[in-house]
Amino acid sequence: MCFSPHCDHGFTRRGALRTAAGFVALSAFGAANAKEADSGKPKPNAIGGDAALRRIMEGNARYVANKPTHRNFSAGRVERTTSQYPIAAILSCADSRVAPEFAFDQGPGDLFVVRIAGNFANDDGLASLEYAVKFLGVPLVLVLGHSNCGAVSAAIKVVEDNAVLPGHLPELVQSLKPAVEAAKAKSPKDLLAAAIAENVVLTVKQLETAQPLLASFADSGKVKIAGGVYDLANGKISLLA
């Protein structure tokens, strides 16, 4: 090591700071639910992917029947300040008409929701889902599309009519075009509905093979990855994958 005052130690100091920051960040991620882990007790969301899917679909049935059980959203507020145990991570469209917590009749802390127009998985969304799986222990990841999706409709107009969209919308639509093209190749009667479903199926496959985290959790059976489409007219969610 050089001890001369003319030597540049900036890189070493910066590297050390980056390394320390990384350890702090990982500690912060893992510390949220440390209490139950240290106690050796099963976490509240350690129920398995099939059980989690069953629970949220039962909730959707209540929502469709307009018989929700979750009405007091302040219950458990204090307890949730120190930890969270969502039973599912939902990759949902940003559409204002779609509210996963209501659609699945779940309370605060039950769902970890990632939202983006068109419910596709970009790098940031994927990282959020990885966080939910790795550090929050969610047993289920569900991709939720919905009927009459404006983002998918825009992608269809780009594919079929060469429509030109403003701002950053072309980048968003680029991620949806594969679903539109795959659906169009099947000559469906309703291209929009077919593309919406195709987008969910393709995104599920993408998540199932996403390295290094989601694929390993899915392959080991620790996480179930599924998909469905929410019907705006009646509130029912139909599973696709």
Question: Tens of pLDDT along 77-124?
Answer: 767 778 899 999 999 999 999 999 999 999 999 999 999 999 999 999
pLDDT tens, position by position, 186-212: 999 999 999 999 999 999 999 999 999
In the chain the first and final C-alpha atoms are separated, in Å, by 58
- The pLDDT value recorded for residue 11 is 40
Q: Domain segments of the chain: what residues?
A: 43-239
- The pLDDT value recorded for residue 61 is 98
pLDDT tens, position by position, 131-176: 999 999 999 999 999 999 999 999 999 999 999 999 999 999 999 9
Find the mean pLDDT for residues 213-228. Answer: 98
Confidence of residue 28 (pLDDT cuts 50, 70, 90): low
- Asked if omega into 139 is within 30° of 0 (cis), the reply is no
Report the alpha-carbon distance of residue 125 to residue 133 in Å, rounded.
Answer: 13
pLDDT at 24 over 60: no
Q: Is the pTM of the predicted complex or chain greater than 0.95?
A: no
pLDDT tens, position by position, 29-69: 555 555 555 557 789 999 999 999 999 999 999 999 999 99
Residue 1: HSE in the Cβ half-sphere, 13 Å Cα cutoff: 4
Question: Where do runs of H (alpha helix) occur along the chain?
Answer: 10-31, 34-39, 49-64, 100-103, 123-134, 150-161, 169-184, 191-208, 213-219
- Write out the CATH class of domain 43-239: alpha beta
Which backbone phi and psi does 156 adopt, to 5 degrees? Answer: -65, -40
Q: Are strands 88-92 and 140-146 parallel, antiparallel or unpaired?
A: parallel
More confident residue, 99 or 5: 99
Neighbour tally for 220: CB within 10 Å: 8
